Amino acid sequence: MPDLDAPTPDRVADDEWLARQCDWDNVRADRTVKRQAFIPSKRPLEISVDRTKYCEFAEKVTDNPKKTLIFLQTLSIRQHLAPVDVHKAEPPRGHANVEAAVDPEIRSLYQTKAELQRDVQLFDQQTLLAEELARLSTPVSPFSEPVG
């Protein structure tokens, strides 16, 4: 379970598990995850995740039967999706973002999904990133205790 008293390190460690909330509709019957689970609705170039060591991530879905959690390990993102990385993005406590390496000036141009969709090439790159994150993720908890 999370250690809520431990300070949150600035660097997201390779062995950290990340959790992302999504609708059950984004999990197929064979327990694979659809890319839509990783298409951000608010900030199009930042995919929001929780660092499971440092926050009460399971509380986000316990009262909503339409929601579930999907899990990824930081190392698998770094190994398979370079130059994508995971960065601390607090508040809230334990929050992080999965982000592709995009020039900060370009990043500032796209604050909404609609703005990103107008740039077909960059939107295609984000869609491919979402597909790869879905391939690397699982709706099965990596923890011994049940989640949600």
Q: Is residue 145 part of a domain?
A: no
CA neighbor of 3 nearest in space, from 62, 52, 75? 52
Q: Is residue 29 part of a domain?
A: yes
pLDDT the model gives residue 75 = 93
Contact 148, 62 (CB under 8 A): yes
Tens place of pLDDT per residue across the chain (148 aa)? 666 777 889 999 999 999 998 989 999 989 899 988 988 767 767 889 999 988 887 777 777 788 888 999 999 999 998 788 899 998 888 999 998 777 777 777 777 777 777 777 777 888 888 899 999 998 877 765 544 4
Q: Is residue 6 part of a domain?
A: no
Q: Is residue 143 part of a domain?
A: no
Contact 16, 73 (CB under 8 A): yes
Q: Is residue 128 part of a domain?
A: yes
pLDDT the model gives residue 102 = 73
pLDDT the model gives residue 146 = 43
The neighbouring-strand residues paired with 78 are none
Q: Is residue 10 part of a domain?
A: no
Q: Is residue 92 part of a domain?
A: yes
For residue 71, what are the domain limits? 17-136
Q: Is residue 45 part of a domain?
A: yes
CA neighbor of 71 nearest in space, from 8, 16, 4? 16
What's the total number of domains in the chain? 1
